[in-house]
Structure 1
Amino acid sequence: MSSPPRPHTPGPADPDGRPLRRDARRNRDKLIAVAKSAFAQAEGPVSLEGIAREAGVGIGTLYRHFPTREDLVEAVYASELDAVTASAPALLDRHPADVALRAWIGRYAAFIATKRGMMDTLLTAFASGRIAAPSRERVTTTIATILERGAAAGTLRADVDPDDVATLLIGVFPAIIEGASQERTDRLLDLIVDVVRRPQSPQSPQRDR
């Protein structure tokens, strides 16, 4: 079975919609990389001036690419979500769908755990709808792909709505952001997979977990 196509993410553009020049693209990528690290390490608000300084550009350059803090947070979130969603086909190639689902939601949970430094801004962007709709769709589409593979193989239920699984997963995030232990996070994620795993008949051998 061939892997599903990766979602297309348009390249960055300037405020007038023109594709960025190579040097501008390089500055933008550097700002996103520095912001990603800064937000992951911070326990509170992150200084935009500090991000610009660490990236080796002026604050004016940062604001040309990201006029608001929300714009920068959205860019960081989107760039990292690309890698998370793109990991699903490889997991499905290596593992049965139920194992792949557990591995994928574990990766997504680890991704969310690094967002403490940008969570206030991210929640504002979610509330405004700037991030929630497109990212929810990408996550739900990824879950749907895994569920479809599992239903065909008989390891996952065929009657599960992918958006319901996304809702369960998002419900775990507050505990992760508030610093839940890895043990508790693992228990919560295991419960999600147990809900969608197809019950085995008494004659069926037990799968290793």
Structure 2
Amino acid sequence: MSPGAPSADETAAPSLRSDAERNRARIIAAARTVFGRGGLNASMASVAREAGVGIATLFRRFPTKEDLVAAVFADRMDAYADVVTEALDDPDPWRGLVGIIESVCAMQAADYGFADVLTMTFPTAKTLEQRRIEVYHSVVQLIDRAKAAGRLREDFTPEDLVLIYMANAGVVNATGHDVPDAWRRVVALMIQSYQAPARGPLPDSPEPDALYRAMLRASQASFASPGPPERHGGT
């Protein structure tokens, strides 16, 4: 071997790293497809099949399903944050809030996986959860502004926004194949019901801690389940 020429080990290492990175990208792309059409109940085995890798390779790259979810939906959470930032810049806070609801519900309708992400919580996915918290505080600001402007009913709470996403996810999952735009009517009805002046009192809002437990239970149930047959026909 000539002086200065790389050894076999040195040339092999970059190749191994390159293969690992290709596998990681392939797995993320596959998971985006599988979760997008089947929601988070889809199994890790189905992701491995879609990616064309062994299940052991998948778990080397992503030791837990939460790790994979965090990687797959990081860009979706960024897009959600961008929607909220744009809404905060709107001089009409009610229009901004409506824009958030409509845009995010449309994102749910287009991606079953993201529909699930917004109705669950993932304590070990620190970056994803931190992003969610940042967005939450921005939305609270907008809710307060819309109330101050007299456009949003006073008894609306941030937890109601979570309930909207939960309700929309249910409608999308139930009707996505046969009536793909049904969610639009349901969301419009909910938006109109929250507009001021209120047309009547509402039952008490869920306690934040109780709603968090419900979201956590949903994520635990989803990750524990082997997954139902995959749904098809999302918009």
Question: Does the TM-score normalized on the shorter chain lie above 0.5?
Answer: yes
CA apart distance, 1:144: 1.4
For residues 134-145 of structure 1, what are the structure 2 equivalents within 5 Å? 134=129, 137=133, 140-145=136-141
| CA shift digits 1:168-191 (9 cap, x unpaired) | 332232111112535431222122
CA separation of 1:108/1:190 partners in 2, compared to 1, >3 Å: closer, same or farther?
same
1:112–1:177 CA contact under 8 A, matched in 2: no
Write the deviation string for residues 73-130 of structure 1: whole angstroms up to 9, x where unpaired. 343234412211321121343462222222212222223234446989x69x948866
* Residue pairs, 1:4-15, within 5 angstroms: none
- 1:84 corresponds in structure 2 to 80
Aligned to 2:202: none
Tell me how far apart the structure 2 counterparts of residues 189 and 119 of structure 1 sit (CA, whole Å): 14
Amino acid at match of 2:195: R
Measure, in 2, the Cα distance between the counterparts of 1:113 and 1:67.
29
| Alignment correspondent of 1:11 | none
From 139, 142, 148, the counterpart of 1:146: 142
Q: Paired residue for 1:105? A: 101
Structure 2: tracts of 5 or more residues without a match? 1-16, 199-235
1:48 matched residue in structure 2: 47
Higher relative contact order (CA 8 A, sep 6+): 2
Match of 2:5 in 1: none
Decide which moves more: 102-111 or 31-40: 31-40
- Structure 1 unaligned segments of length 5 or more: list them: 1-21, 201-209
Could you tell me how far 1:149 is from its partner in structure 2? 2.6
Secondary structure, aligned partner of 1:76: helix
Could you say which residue in structure 1 is the equivalent of 2:61?
A: 65
The CA deviation at 1:150 is 1.6
The residue that corresponds to 2:194 in the other structure is 196
1:116-195 to 2 correspondence within 5 Å? 116=112, 126=120, 134=129, 137=133, 140-180=136-176, 181-195=179-193
Question: TM-score, length-normalised on structure 1?
Answer: 0.59
Q: Percent of counterpart pairs with the same letter?
A: 30
CA contact (8 A) 2:34 2:42 kept: no
Describe the shift of the 1:25–1:151 C-alpha distance in structure 2 as closer, same or farther (beyond 3 A). farther
Q: Distance in 2 between matches of 1:164 and 1:52?
A: 38
Give secondary structure in 1 for the equivalent of 2:175. Answer: coil
Distance of 2:114 and 2:49 partners within structure 1: 15
Amino acid at match of 2:175: G
| Paired residue secondary structure (2:153) | coil
- The corresponding residue for 1:5 is none
